[in-house]
Structure 1
Amino acid sequence: MATFLYKLGRFAFRRRRYVALMWVALLALAIGGAASAATSTSSSFSIPGTEAQKAFDLLDQRFPGSSSDGATARIVFKAPSGDKMTDPAAKAEIKKVSGELTDGSDQIKSVSDPYATNAVSKNGRTAYVTVAYKVNAMALKDADKDSLQDTATAAQKSGYTVEIGGDALQAMPETGSGEIIGVILAGIVLVVTFGSLVAAGLPLLTALIGVGIGVSSITALANVLDLGSTTSTLAMMIGLAVGIDYALFIVSRYRAELAEGREREEAAGRAVGTAGSAVVFAGLTVVIALVGLAVVNIPMLTKMGMAAAGTVAIAVLIALTLIPAMLGFVGKRIHGRKARKAADAKKADLTKAGLTKDEAPEAKPNMGTRWARFVLRRPIWVLLVGVLGLGAIAIPVSSLEMGLPDDGSQPTSTTQRRAYDLLSDGFGAGFNGPLMVVVDAKGSDDPHAAAAEVEKKINSLGVTSAVYPAAFNKAGDTATITAIPKWGPSSTQTEDVVHSIRATAPGLKSSTGAEVLVTGSTAMNIDFSQKMNDALLPYLALVVGLAFLLLMIVFRSVLVPLKAALGFLLSVVAALGAVVAVFQWGWLGSLFGVEQTGPIMSMMPIFMVGVVFGLAMDYEVFLVTRMREAYVHGERPAEAIVTGFKHGARVVTAAAVIMIAVFSGFIGASDSMIKMIGFGLAIAVFFDAFVVRMAIVPAVLALLGKRAWWLPRWLDRALPNVDVEGEGLRKFTEQAAESSDPDDKRELISV
């Protein structure tokens, strides 16, 4: 592989104008496709294999036309103290509001009458009007949203408290200025690392091109593939981070090759052949982790993973082709002016002293060298501090509660949250999370008697505050019963209510012949969380197993991949502990803009396992391949560790800081899911890069010594040799340099 990538790097360097033009053309094509595509809408949400989804599918069949993908709004009214919503003045105000809404929009399907639909609280002080739209929230015109808000504001002037719930006011997630700040911080880190604006600009430019192609392609295909609004945000988050990192490693290795005295084209080829090999395998681990999300069998999660994996693949291809092409354009400016002057002065001093480059005095050890030697002196202490520290941070995971965000998790400053609270106060805590009990009475002799028996049974459980009468379809063979739990949608008691009703289903079927299913948004969330829990171990086994095999091929070792996997588990559990502490317990919540604590998003654990594993293996590959390279070339294990840190610690540190900066930029997002993902990934990269890879890894390798690179002979013969350390490349270039055959020289520079 190293030899092939070496040739590819030299080809891209020589044909830089064609390579650059190709990528610019792809970017223009993707942007053109995105611009001409229809406006993105929310993706459908389904959970195959769950009872809640089975019930929804049954309702689509038995109640044709009743389900709608249109947006809904709940305008909640609360009368002033001493008044009631049943007063004539209140009725007149609600009639006025309903009329204004109906007359002001052609997208409204219906506006309910709270006095006809029993939408007035028992104490008479709270009522709500349900507005159903013909289109979903993303396709709803801004004028309709403004009209909805203006109508509510006008009603407030009459002395009523008026808030708007539902999804009609839902907007595309905004990341605010945090994303821009993250990119700026990444640029600053690159300037400090390289000491050159040109060298710092290359990774940023190429990463933005890759993200532009990836996100524009997702936007262009959003309606065709039914992609959600968060899909492009996730792809941007991961694509930007890995795009900068991969380019950083190629550029850094190129500068190191130049420092060895190689010509620019040769240096570009060697940089792509060596660091590029690490980029390929690091990218593969990320792609495996993201594509592996398909095993969860939730279409939304599968699409998010596939889209992000595609963006990562683009980042790898850009690092291998566009970066060497851009290196051909920048010339000597890859080094800063100060660095070029220092190099010229050093060369003049050596010439004056009659010394060759190899005879030059050894440079002062850098920070990476000093840190590696410190770890080698105290490996046990470093290992204990790292493991115990991350273990302590992971303690909050024992209190992990999972759920899906709803209006109750919104900040109290939003009208959606205030409407949620008004409904809870007026109609009970469970009103915002009603359960829909579906009675499939096709196999029953008396469907109405069967539905009545189900109602009676639910009431006898004593876990609901209200059970509404059954509503039958036209055929009279299927009914829906709405049950209001006594507790809020995200409480563990409500989860017990769902399980209690479902536990009665077998008995009801045997006595009435009707099948009973529980669905609704609350039941859907419960089933989603359970599916996430059930899929976590199989997913972990699949991803870690495939990546373990991949790393075994890369490092020709059994213990190094094992150590990498165990270190990852430690860092991801610690990161989950930090997420629980901030978003569930509220520790330092104000610092990260967390206005409302609550359960952790159900997909967070499995999502973090996938993404963090891929990113963690990036640093493992980049750091340890340099150690492996030194070891293969004859250095002792301890010396190889020092060499790896000497050449890789500074770059890995810069890459981690950049990735943390990029992910942290998404903490300022308006969407709670994006905010939580941004924080979780940022803290996970911090733990994995600086505690696991920079401390625990060298400590373990120091304790293992030569045993770290042990591989059974039969396994060594069975595994393919991909030559990541560049041994085959070194022999190839030596033979080509010694050969006088013009064909060999042409082979050296051809792909």
Structure 2
Amino acid sequence: MALLLYRLGRFSARRAWLVIAAWAVIIGMVGGAAALFMGPMSNNFQIPGTETQQMADKLQADLPEASGGTGSVVFTSTDGQPFTPAQQTEISQVLASVTSVPSVKNVIDPFLTQESLAQAKAKLADGAQQLAAGEAQLAQGKATLDATSAQLAAAQTQLDAAQAQLDAQAAQIAGLPAGSPQAAAASAQLAAGQAQLDAQKATLAPGQAQLADGEAKYAASVKELAAKKVELTTGQRSAEAATGIKFVADNGKAAIGQIQFSESMNAVTPANRQLVQDKLNTLDSSGVTVNYSKEILEDVSSLFGIAEVLGIAVAAAVLIIMLGTLIAAGLPLLMAVVGVGIGVGGTMALTGVIEMSSISPMLALMLGLAVGIDYSLFIVNRHRQQLLAGMEMRESIAKATGTSGNAVTFAGLTVVIALAALSVTGLPFLAVLGLAAAATVAVAVLIALTLTPAILSLMGRKVISKRAWAKSVVAHSKHDAETAGLSVPERAAADQSKEVRASAKGWGGLVTKHPVISLVTAVVALAVIAIPAAGLRLALPDGGSEPVDSSAFKAYTITGDNFGEGMNGPIIVVGSLPAGLDQAGATALNLDVADQLRKVPNVKAAVPVTVSKDLRTAVYQVIPAEGPASASTVQVVHDLRAEGTAIKTDLNVGVGLTGQTAANVDVSAKLGAALPPYLAIVVGLSLILLILVFRSILVPVLATAGFLLSLVAAFGGVVAVYQWGWLGGIFDVANPGAVLSFLPIILIGVLFGLAMDYQVFIASGMREAYVHGQDAKQAVRTGFKHAAPVVTAAAIIMTSVFSGFIFSHLTMVRPLGFALAFGVLIDAFVVRMTIIPAAMHLLGKSAWWIPKWLDKILPDVDVEGAKLEAPAPDAASHGTLGKQDATIH
């Protein structure tokens, strides 16, 4: 590998303009592709196959009018007083005008909605009064009907008794002799009595008919009153279900409007988002302040902000101090910018065909800048030292590429593999993120190996300042004077002795003089820093994590203060109703489901929203007690799903959850589950690669253990700052909350790669000194002395670049920037430059032990570039300088 890279470096130096032209063409092609094919980015973290995605697909199919994204608009009066009627009217008019914006489906006017709710409430109260009056009137009518019925029954009884008497008389008359005067007189009397009785019966019939009509009307009234009672009860239950939902604050000083889009929020273009804001911002002149939820404001089209520029400025300052010339310092920066331009440009070009989260190009930008600067710096630094030692320029470029470039290739490979391994998590957005960043790092490696040598060839001696040249001449003269008259072996021995004395000084010497104290102190310190990591809680960001002065944060805060925090993160429940229901039955069943949903702890309201035309799919909105990222809301999501089993058993309704709040919980849970296997893959990978490179068992174990220490310490710092709020004023953390869900898994991949970078540059120098005959303990000091300056500069540069993202305009990136900056700082200075040298000094020769059978089967990757170490013509005259050149810096 070293020989191949040597030839690549020599070719790039000799054909500099050809290499530069090739990269210029690539830049032009990537830039053109980005301009032509770039599409909108999103923050869609859905995972196919989850319940939230299944329910979202069901809604799209069964209730398309209920699908699509929703954003909130929070109105407040500028003077802090309740809205005036004129302001309410203007808000309603402006909200109505928003429906003219493309992709806006509908708006919910807070004042019209609240008025409708008030009217419905008044109507329910009036209905209750009417129902009570109707029941009283019905009771009175029932008493009258009962009295009339009793009178008619008494009259009928009298008539029946009279008829019985007449019938008895008729029987007596039948016993008299026919034709007798007595019989004739009795018959006449009987006929008169019967006629009178029949007349009385005739007068009773209309009363009976009137009673029957009254009873029929009463029955109809009872039925009508029962229907009104059911309707009133349904209305009362609906009102009770919606009690926890308000659109206008009780004090009249704040109101929430909602905008429903015809497509998902991820598909709403920045132009349409801005059109919505432009229309609503006209209310400023009416004394109304408008703030928007995170969903409406979220524009991820901008990648670079002031904070990122400041981070690069610090990196530039470090380069200038280290390299001593603007030209030399500018080269690593230029290489990083070119690499980032190609890597991020290619990523942006793919956004038209691949759904990509906003953090994907941001991570690629962050890593591309950091590793791009460092990788180029390693080669430039090696080249400068070789030039100062007297090596011919192009030979120096080729050799720097074959030695430091070899280490750069391996270091870059570890980062690329760690990032690409994010694909095994089964999370599509994370796979895209990892591959985008891995591709950018790969480009940075290629640029360091080709474009850096080409430009170094054109720069010539200007890569070193005149002062550095003069200092080198003086040092060479002094060295020649001190070693004058000595033989070559004696000169080598003198140089060796001088190098040993020098290596005992500085930080490396201090650590190796007191290895036990250094090791124990560093490990204990990292363990203490890692303590907060035990309380790590994962979630996706909400409006409460936005900057304090942002509109999204204000909207989130105003909503929480006036309507309850749960209004910032409603949970959507989708119900599958049984077949055969009519409208009334579906309504009653939906209310039964809502009643059961409200039994879940920390549920403030649960209200049926709509039902499909076939009455088979229903939507319910659940308002939790706290915000979407709070621990209680996460528990509410789990409890609602658990309650679904009881709802299915009791009501024969299957329920599932969807919406952003439930989706965030699912994503966080999935990411948490993916963390252990991914960590195992990365740790296993680190052991295999380091065994291959260092041909040792204990060195890889130490390197991996150090990485784990760095990792948990970085987690501890993130939890302390972003979850507990420590130093929140410094890091602009106004509303501490759960840690970004995918931060841990990204941090593992990135920090592993970067930690292995420093491990390679530190330990390879130690191994080279040991292989060249130095005592194992002394080799630790020698290797540390050679590598420490460039590793220190590289770590400061990388930390500076990452630190710039701590105050990024994209708040989602901030904790990630902090985690990477803090992790790199700890890993470079505490683990690689304290724990590793202390532990290896204690281990001595056993640090390089490897089973013979394993040593035989391992391929020789020659990461130190030993095959290129042919003696230079003036090596003997330069002694120590030549020997130092053989070490990777």
Tell me the equivalent position of 2:549: 413
Q: Is the 8 A contact 2:647 2:653 kept in 1?
A: yes
> Deviation per CA, 1:318-371, whole angstroms, max 9, x where unpaired?
111112222211212222101212333444566678568964975686688532
1:2-401 aligned at under 5 Å gives the runs: 2-42=2-42, 44-64=44-64, 66-68=66-68, 72-77=71-76, 83=82, 88-89=85-86, 91-102=88-99, 105=101, 108-114=104-110, 115-116=112-113, 118=117, 120-121=247-248, 123=250, 125=252, 126-133=254-261, 136-141=267-272, 144=275, 147-155=278-286, 157=287, 162-172=290-300, 175-347=304-476, 359=491, 362=495, 370-401=506-537
Select between 209-218 and 491-500 the one with higher mean Cα deviation: 491-500
Give 1:40's aligned amino acid: P
Select between 345-354 and 280-289 the one with higher mean Cα deviation: 345-354
Per the alignment, do residues 50 and 99 of structure 1 end up closer, same or farther by CA in structure 2, a change over 3 Å counting? closer
Q: Identity of aligned pairs, percent?
A: 42
Give 1:205's aligned amino acid: L
- For 1:10 and 1:20, how far apart are their aligned partners in 2? 14
- For 1:529 and 1:107, how far apart are their aligned partners in 2? 30
1:617-656 aligned at under 5 Å gives the runs: 617-656=756-795
Select between 610-619 and 395-404 the one with higher mean Cα deviation: 395-404
- For 1:176 and 1:352, how far apart are their aligned partners in 2? 55
Report SS of the residue matched to 1:247.
helix
Report SS of the residue matched to 2:506.
helix
Tell me the equivalent position of 1:612: 751
Report SS of the residue matched to 2:574.
strand
Select between 716-725 and 562-571 the one with higher mean Cα deviation: 716-725
Of 522, 526, 542, the match for 2:681? 542
1:491-502 aligned at under 5 Å gives the runs: 491-502=630-641
Structure 2: segments with no counterpart, 5+ residues? 118-245, 876-889
Structure 1: segments with no counterpart, 5+ residues? 738-751
Per the alignment, do residues 65 and 596 of structure 1 end up closer, same or farther by CA in structure 2, a change over 3 Å counting? same
Per the alignment, do residues 435 and 351 of structure 1 end up closer, same or farther by CA in structure 2, a change over 3 Å counting? closer
- For 1:146 and 1:511, how far apart are their aligned partners in 2? 46
Per the alignment, do residues 81 and 640 of structure 1 end up closer, same or farther by CA in structure 2, a change over 3 Å counting? closer
What is the CA-CA distance between 1:210 and the residue it aligns to? 0.8
- For 1:122 and 1:189, how far apart are their aligned partners in 2? 54
The structure in which a higher percent of residues are helix is 2
Per the alignment, do residues 377 and 168 of structure 1 end up closer, same or farther by CA in structure 2, a change over 3 Å counting? same
Give 1:438's aligned amino acid: V
Q: Is the 8 A contact 2:595 2:606 kept in 1?
A: no
Select between 718-727 and 553-562 the one with higher mean Cα deviation: 718-727
Per the alignment, do residues 205 and 509 of structure 1 end up closer, same or farther by CA in structure 2, a change over 3 Å counting? same
> Deviation per CA, 1:520-573, whole angstroms, max 9, x where unpaired?
222112222211211110000011111221111011111111111111111111
Per the alignment, do residues 137 and 417 of structure 1 end up closer, same or farther by CA in structure 2, a change over 3 Å counting? farther
Select between 662-671 and 590-599 the one with higher mean Cα deviation: 590-599
Per the alignment, do residues 511 and 649 of structure 1 end up closer, same or farther by CA in structure 2, a change over 3 Å counting? same
Report SS of the residue matched to 1:127.
strand
- For 2:450 and 2:274, how far apart are their aligned partners in 1? 47
Report SS of the residue matched to 2:819.
helix
- For 1:694 and 1:444, how far apart are their aligned partners in 2? 74
What is the CA-CA distance between 1:242 and the residue it aligns to? 0.3
Tell me the equivalent position of 1:669: 808
Report SS of the residue matched to 2:292.
strand
Tell me the equivalent position of 1:531: 670
- For 2:324 and 2:337, how far apart are their aligned partners in 1? 21
What is the CA-CA distance between 1:500 and the residue it aligns to? 1.6
- For 1:89 and 1:331, how far apart are their aligned partners in 2? 74
TM-score scaled by length of structure 1: 0.90
Tell me the equivalent position of 1:740: none
What is the CA-CA distance between 1:151 and the residue it aligns to? 2.4
What is the CA-CA distance between 1:72 and the residue it aligns to? 3.3
Tell me the equivalent position of 1:687: 826
Tell me the equivalent position of 1:578: 717
Per the alignment, do residues 355 and 275 of structure 1 end up closer, same or farther by CA in structure 2, a change over 3 Å counting? farther
1:484-563 aligned at under 5 Å gives the runs: 484-563=623-702
Report SS of the residue matched to 1:42.
coil
Tell me the equivalent position of 2:191: none
Of 451, 472, 487, the match for 2:611? 472
Q: Is the 8 A contact 1:268 1:324 kept in 2?
A: yes
**Aligned Cα RMSD in Å?**
2.9
Select between 452-461 and 685-694 the one with higher mean Cα deviation: 452-461
Q: Is the 8 A contact 1:439 1:517 kept in 2?
A: yes
Select between 603-612 and 559-568 the one with higher mean Cα deviation: 603-612
Q: Is the 8 A contact 1:101 1:147 kept in 2?
A: no
- For 2:647 and 2:763, how far apart are their aligned partners in 1? 61
Give 1:31's aligned amino acid: G
Give 1:532's aligned amino acid: L
- For 1:267 and 1:4, how far apart are their aligned partners in 2? 15
What is the CA-CA distance between 1:287 and the residue it aligns to? 1.0
Report SS of the residue matched to 1:597.
coil
Report SS of the residue matched to 2:346.
helix
Select between 459-468 and 202-211 the one with higher mean Cα deviation: 459-468
> Deviation per CA, 1:26-76, whole angstroms, max 9, x where unpaired?
11221222233345332543123432222222222322364225x734243
Report SS of the residue matched to 1:111.
strand
What is the CA-CA distance between 1:505 and the residue it aligns to? 2.3
Tell me the equivalent position of 1:702: 841
Per the alignment, do residues 122 and 20 of structure 1 end up closer, same or farther by CA in structure 2, a change over 3 Å counting? closer
> Deviation per CA, 1:657-680, whole angstroms, max 9, x where unpaired?
000111111122122221111111
Per the alignment, do residues 344 and 463 of structure 1 end up closer, same or farther by CA in structure 2, a change over 3 Å counting? closer
Give 1:58's aligned amino acid: K
What is the CA-CA distance between 1:485 and the residue it aligns to? 1.7
Report SS of the residue matched to 2:605.
strand
- For 2:772 and 2:442, how far apart are their aligned partners in 1? 31
> Deviation per CA, 1:624-680, whole angstroms, max 9, x where unpaired?
111112222222211211221121100000000000111111122122221111111
- For 2:328 and 2:745, how far apart are their aligned partners in 1? 37
What is the CA-CA distance between 1:149 and the residue it aligns to? 4.9
Q: Is the 8 A contact 2:27 2:341 kept in 1?
A: yes
Select between 334-343 and 108-117 the one with higher mean Cα deviation: 108-117
TM-score scaled by length of structure 2: 0.77
Tell me the equivalent position of 1:744: none
Per the alignment, do residues 728 and 441 of structure 1 end up closer, same or farther by CA in structure 2, a change over 3 Å counting? farther
Per the alignment, do residues 348 and 710 of structure 1 end up closer, same or farther by CA in structure 2, a change over 3 Å counting? closer
> Deviation per CA, 1:246-304, whole angstroms, max 9, x where unpaired?
11111122223334433222222222222112111111111121112222222222111
Q: Is the 8 A contact 1:253 1:275 kept in 2?
A: yes
- For 1:405 and 1:74, how far apart are their aligned partners in 2? 19
What is the CA-CA distance between 1:102 and the residue it aligns to? 5.0
Select between 256-265 and 225-234 the one with higher mean Cα deviation: 256-265
Report SS of the residue matched to 1:461.
coil
What is the CA-CA distance between 1:462 and the residue it aligns to? 4.9
Q: Highest Rg: 1 or 2?
A: 2
Per the alignment, do residues 501 and 655 of structure 1 end up closer, same or farther by CA in structure 2, a change over 3 Å counting? same
What is the CA-CA distance between 1:306 and the residue it aligns to? 0.8
What is the CA-CA distance between 1:141 and the residue it aligns to? 4.9
Select between 543-552 and 240-249 the one with higher mean Cα deviation: 543-552
